[in-house]
């Protein structure tokens, strides 16, 4: 989609011809002398637009406007972001079957930057269509979105940022939605290599021999059961002073997770193609960085492989040696994400980073704890935790802090290795984070468990692209604060 931001200069603004005009109507609406205002005022006086957020009034060829269709949608106050998202989603869902190509989104009052972002990302999400592996393709019809606001100046940066987030989110969705035979580790490596065509981005792809030389025994153990070769993808975005310490993003890239020898139930196992959503989010962040070109240094590390049963597959009770030198007793082969991440976290320390954030669909326990609304995050670094929580609010890609008390690590003790890879069912999301903490080193580190937020299930099954928005807001909050 192409996006354009234009000023709503006066009551007599000349709107371009369009297929659909969407107008959020808030409690702050006051009528003026414009034809559009008159239409809204009449609808309100006649009770045609109920006060419930998301309520719609659909008008064909309204008088005085050049649109084929005008949709008035009830929205809440500017800070009621869930209601704004609900309103835009309802409006786009209504008009989507008519296949509009040009949509005008008109704000009668200047929205806040976050309101604008929520509205645009909701419009993109509601109109998104996956087509890659369909023979009868019915792609997204909307090609152009024109946004009118009373005052463009305070929203220019937020608009550019929103468009970049949408671009990154949709790349993340594309790769997470692809079937596992269309999104193998080699495919992900090619996607990362394609990103390196953009200025300021470079990409290195390491294969099995390279990973073996690095001593990544935990990562290699997970990949053993699959015929697909593993890949370690290393992306660099560098547009900062030469010696600037990077932020490192580590994305879990299990392109299909059968559970290995600890085989998962067949029901819904197809959704384990989404187990590389952390990796997809890193790709999405780099796409957004390429669009915005901020002054930052960011490294993306993606350990990627399949987790399958087979004659060479890792077994419960096996002991593997990680890149850090720590030995790990594998008590559950379905807790494989932490095994590939632990080696990637050790590798990340070689960049002498200012911070490391890993992103993973790691535990079902996190889904039970927080559902699909907020991702969980874990960090003992106060500044990093505060920055992530703030980015969560500005992006409305929400997360929630979780504890890392040392007592939670008691269950990881092993009689046969330095640590076990699981600690039983209680507090499973926390004990998984405690395992990763053993490999995070001394730099500021955070772990994002996105198991509940990375995809939707049921009739709306598909990737969400989260937490691209959260990560991008965090990174941009650092712009201008680089240190070597």
What is the reported pLDDT for 54? 87
pLDDT at 265: 96
Residues 289 and 360 in one domain: yes
User: Which residue numbers in the chain have pLDDT < 50?
Assistant: 483-484
pLDDT in tens, 212-245: 999 999 999 999 999 999 999 999 999 999 889 9
237: closest CA among 278, 206, 196? 196
CATH number for the domain harbouring residue 286: 3.40.630.10
Is the whole model's pTM more than 0.75, yes or no?
yes
Q: What is the pLDDT of residues 409-445, one digit of tens each?
A: 999 999 999 999 999 899 999 999 999 999 999 999 9
State whether 110 and 197 are in the same domain.
no
Are 237 and 286 in contact by the 8 Å Cβ rule? The answer is: yes
Helices then strands, each counted (H, E), the chain? 13, 20
Residues 177 and 144 in one domain: no
Co-location of 138 and 108 in the same domain = yes
Same domain, 276 and 231: yes
The answer to whether position 157 is within a domain reads: no
- The dihedrals phi and psi of 447, each to the nearest 5 degrees, come to -120, 125
Instruction: State whether 300 and 386 are in the same domain.
Output: yes
Is 225 within the bounds of a domain? yes
Q: What is the CATH number of the domain that holds 119?
A: 3.40.220.10
271 and 391 fall within a common domain: yes
Catalytic positions, written as ranges:
264, 338
Residue 115 host element (H or E): helix 113-127
Last residue of a domain, one of 100, 123, 152: 152
Same domain for 145 and 17: yes
Let me know whether 242 and 336 are in one domain: yes
Cα distance between residue 198 and residue 29, in whole Å: 44
Q: Do 9 and 90 fall within a single domain?
A: yes
- Asked if residue 415 and residue 293 are part of one domain, the reply reads yes
Number of domains in the chain: 2
Domain shared by 231 and 107, yes or no:
no
Residue-range definition of the domain harbouring residue 15: 2-152
355 assigned to some structural domain: yes
Residue 105 buriedness (CB in 10 A; 0-12 / 13-18 / 19+): buried
For residue 315, being part of any structural domain is answered with yes
pLDDT score recorded for residue 484: 41
């Amino acid at each position: 989609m192409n996006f354009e931001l234009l000023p709503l200069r006066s009551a007599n603004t000349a709107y371009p011809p369009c297929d659909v005009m969407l107008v959020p109507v808030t409690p702050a609406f006051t009528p003026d002398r414009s034809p559009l205002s008159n239409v809204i005022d009449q609808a309100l006086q006649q009770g045609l637009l109920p006060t419930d957020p998301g309520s719609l009034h659909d008008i064909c060829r309204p008088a005085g406007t050049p649109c084929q269709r005008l949709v008035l949608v009830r929205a809440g106050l500017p800070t009621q972001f869930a209601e704004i998202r609900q309103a835009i989603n309802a409006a786009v869902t209504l008009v989507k079957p008519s296949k509009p190509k040009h949509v005008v989104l008109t704000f009668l009052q200047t929205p806040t930057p976050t309101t604008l972002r929520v509205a645009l990302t909701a419009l993109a999400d509601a109109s998104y269509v996956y087509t890659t592996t369909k023979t009868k393709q019915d792609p997204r019809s909307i090609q152009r979105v024109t946004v009118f606001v009373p005052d463009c100046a305070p929203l220019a940066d937020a608009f550019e940022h929103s468009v970049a987030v949408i671009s990154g989110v949709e790349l993340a969705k594309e790769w997470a939605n692809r079937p596992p035979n269309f999104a193998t580790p080699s495919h992900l490596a090619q996607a990362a290599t394609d990103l390196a065509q953009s200025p300021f981005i470079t990409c290195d792809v390491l294969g099995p021999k390279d990973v073996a030389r690095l001593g990544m025994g935990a990562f290699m153990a997970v990949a053993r059961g699959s015929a697909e070769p593993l890949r370690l993808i290393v992306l660099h975005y560098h547009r900062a002073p030469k010696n600037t310490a990077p932020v490192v993003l580590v994305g879990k890239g299990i392109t299909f997770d059968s559970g290995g020898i600890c085989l998962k139930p067949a029901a819904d196992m197809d959704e384990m193609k989404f187990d590389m959503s952390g990796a997809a989010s890193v790709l999405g962040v780099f796409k957004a960085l390429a669009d915005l070109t901020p002054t930052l240094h960011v490294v993306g590390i993606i350990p990627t492989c399949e987790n399958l049963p087979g004659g060479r597959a890792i077994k419960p009770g096996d002991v593997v040696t990680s890149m850090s030198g720590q030995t790990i007793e594998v008590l559950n082969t379905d807790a494989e994400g932490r095994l590939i991440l632990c080696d990637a976290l050790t590798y990340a320390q070689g960049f002498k980073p200012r911070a490391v954030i890993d992103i993973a669909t790691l535990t079902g326990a996190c889904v039970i704890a927080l559902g699909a609304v907020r991702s969980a995050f874990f960090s003992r670094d106060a500044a990093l935790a505060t920055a992530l929580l703030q980015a969560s609010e500005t992006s409305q890609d929400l997360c929630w802090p979780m504890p890392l008390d040392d007592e939670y690590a008691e269950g990881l003790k092993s009689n046969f290795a330095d640590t076990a890879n699981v600690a039983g069912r209680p507090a499973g999301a926390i004990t998984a984070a405690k395992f990763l903490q053993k490999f995070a080193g001394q730099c500021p580190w955070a772990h994002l468990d996105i198991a509940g937020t990375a995809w939707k299930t049921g009739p709306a099954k598909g990737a969400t692209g989260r937490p691209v928005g959260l990560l991008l807001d965090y990174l941009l909050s650092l712009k201008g604060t680089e240190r070597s």
